[in-house]
Structure 1
Amino acid sequence: MRVLVWNEFRHEKSKPEVAEIYPDGIHGAIADFLQSEQIEVRTATLDEAEHGLTEEVLNQTDVLLWWGHVAHDEVRDEIVAKVHKRVLEGMGLIVLHSGHFSKIFKQLMGTTCDLKWRVADEKERLWVIDPSHPIVEGIGEYIELEKEEMYGEHFDIPAPDQLLFVSWFEGGEVFRSGCTYQRGKGRIFYFRPGHESYPTYHNSQIQRVIKNAVKWVKPESGMMTNYGRSEPLETISDKELK
C-alpha cells in the first residue's frame, strides 16, 4: 500500500516549541509510525513544487493523509481539483485536526466545515461510539489526552456515514471527532485531535487509530464503471428461452 502524508510544514519552521515536539515535522512523525513492510510511506509539503501533489504522485497514492492549519488559502485550486478527482476514483483520504478547514475537505463535504474552538490546555476524552468498527480496533472505551485544543459543536458538516468518536472537553463542550464518509469510490475519515502545540501524534492510541484508518480507507479492487452513452444490453430471445 502506498501512503502519502501531506503537511503545511509551517508551524515547525516558525515556532521553536512546535519544532521541539516534531523536529522532522508533523508529517515526519506520522510517516515514522506508519512505515512498515506492508506500507510504503512518502511525505509532501505545501512549499514543494505543486505542493508535492503532482499528477504522477497522486496516481501512485492509495491513501492520502492531510494536515493543514494556517495556509489553507495557499493551496492552489487546480491541485485541489486533482486530489478531489483521485478521491472520487477511489483514493482514501484521512483529514486530521484543522484540516477540517482545508479546501479539499470543504469541497468534499459541500459545507463550511466551521466550528467553535478554544486554545487551552484542556483534557480531552474521545469516547468510542461504535466499538465494532475496524478503525477503533484495539482501542478501549475512550482515549484520554491530557492537553489538547478544544473544538466544539456545532460542527458544520453533513451527517457522517458513521460516527466513531465523540470528544468531551473540560470546558463542557462535546464534538464529533471521528467521522467517516464515502464520496464516489473514495473513503474518507476525519479525525479531530492533533494540535501542533501538543505531542498528540506521539500517543500510541492516536497512532493506532490512524494506522487502522489507513487500512480502512485504502481502495478496494473492483470493476471500473463506464459512464456516458450506453448501447442496449443484449437480451435472450424467446426462442433461446424455449
Structure 2
Amino acid sequence: MTGKDSRNKEVTSQHMKIKVIIADDNSFIREGLKIILSTYEEFEVLDTVSDGNEAVNYCQKHEVDIALLDVRMPNMNGGEATKRITEQTNTKPIILTTFDDDEYILDAIKNGAKGYLLKNNDPEQIRDAMKSVFRGNSIIQDVILEKIKSNLTAVNTETETIIDLTGFTEREREIMALIAKGYSNKAISKELFISEGTVANYITSILGKTGLEHRTQIAIYYLTGKVD
C-alpha cells in the first residue's frame, strides 16, 4: 500500500460514522440523548424508539452498530431486547439506565449486553464507552460491578454457594479473580507480570471452557458459578 493509499484509507475510516439507535420509553431522555450524540461527529443517530420490540425490529431491518437500550420499557424490556438483538443481528447492545435498575443487570449481561452504563454519566464517558464497544470491547462501570458483587456476595452467603473452579489452571483462576474485581487486560498484565497478549490467551481459554462470550460474563461466573 502506498503512502497515498494509506492516507486515503485513514481519511475514509475517520469519516465512517458509528450508526446508533436509542430505545427509551421516556421521550425527554430519548430526544436528549439524540441531541447530545449528534453533536459528536463520530456518531449517526439513525432513529429513536420507545420500547424493546421496536428496537429489535429496527435492528433486524437496518444496519445498526450500537443500540442504546433502557432496561425498563413497555412491550419488551431491555434485557429481552438485548437477547434478541444479539441472537438475530450484528448490532451491539449497550444498556443505559438508572442506578435503581440493578435487578436487571445480570439478565442483560447474560443476554449479551456489551456495556452497562448509568444515565448520570458525563456525555464524554458515554461517548468513550460506545466507541470502545464499537471496537469490540465490553464495558461495565465499576460502580455497577461493585453492586453486582455485593448483591451476589449476600446471596452466596445465604445459600452457601461454593464455586467449583477445579477445571481451571491456577493462572486462569487468578485472572478470573482479577476480572471479577474489574481489572482491565492491561492492569492484569501488570499485576501478574505477564504480557497483555498472554492475558488475552488465558481469557480465550477461560471463555472456551465456560462457553461464555466476553469478560463481563467471566466476572459473573467467577462470583456465582453460573453460566446462564
Higher relative contact order (CA 8 A, sep 6+): 1
TM-score range, shorter chain: 0.3 to 0.5
Please give the TM-score of this superposition, normalised by the length of structure 1: 0.38
With structure 2 as the length reference, what TM-score do the two structures score? 0.40
Give the structure with the larger strand fraction.
1
Computing the radius of gyration from Cα coordinates, the structure with the larger value is 1
